[in-house]
Amino acid sequence: MNWAMWSSAAYDFPADLPGYTRGAVVELNRKDWAVRAGLFEVPSAPNSDVLTFKTGGAVLEFEGRYAVFDQPGKLRLGIFGNRGNTGNYRYALAISAADTTLDINDVMVGIRRDNLKYGFYLNVEQQIAKDVGVFARASWNDGRNEILSFTDIDRSVSGGLSVKGSYWGRPTDTFGFGGAVNGLSSSHRDFLAAGGLGLLIGDGQLNYRTERILETYYAFAIDKNCTLTADYQLIANPAYNGDRGPVSIFSGRLHGES
């Protein structure tokens, strides 16, 4: 359930506040590889409900399909760039340092303009035995300007495994386990330490540490149409603050379809 597990977390993918966008994608798909490119609307400001093509976000992805000892695998490499109405962390810090009567968050709003955020993601999925798979992901963005859409992460690595229940007589069940480490650029962490607010984090101070996450789940198939999942997360240094946590999160999900 953690964003850093099921996504390339440093990819600030274009989306409005509920998570939707409009755009176009083209794809060339062959037996062993594919290339995809997309162009999408971005929000008019960080976390905005208003989408615009005035600037826009683009992504180019390569996917390779292969086998290791007859076990199938996939590799995806993507590069992205978003132009949006955002503020620059270093610029905001410089202005607030020159006039300490100013609130740095008000400064950030006042300096928003057409800025670029770019980066990459790498995703590997590999079956290692029947009904057993592993994954690894790495993602990075330049971390100079505000996050537009997704979450407050500039660097992320994650990995994990999933095992189908065929090994214990429950072939439609799944057990999963994974971990992630998230980080911020130096200017982003300085902005938060100076009292800045991100899309989701910021409490006026920051004893910076990388955020570290462990997560495990068990998906129990009640019948062919309904699955009940129990999930546990342990988060050290939540929101990159060594003075916070660790935090345990227990959650569940009931999924049904017909």
Alpha-carbon gap, residue 183 to 211, rounded angstroms: 6
CATH architecture for the domain at 3-256: Beta Barrel (2.40)
Nearest to 236 by CA among 247, 223, 228: 247
Please tell me the pTM assigned to this model: 0.91
Question: Using one digit for the tens of pLDDT, what is the confidence trace for 225-243?
Answer: 999 999 999 999 999 999 9
Provide the residue ranges of all domains of the chain, joining segments of one domain with +. 3-256
State the Cα–Cα distance between residues 237 and 247, nearest whole angstrom: 8
Interval 116-163: pLDDT, tens: 999 999 999 999 999 999 999 999 999 999 999 999 999 999 999 999
Positive or negative torsion for Cα 111, 112, 117, 123: positive
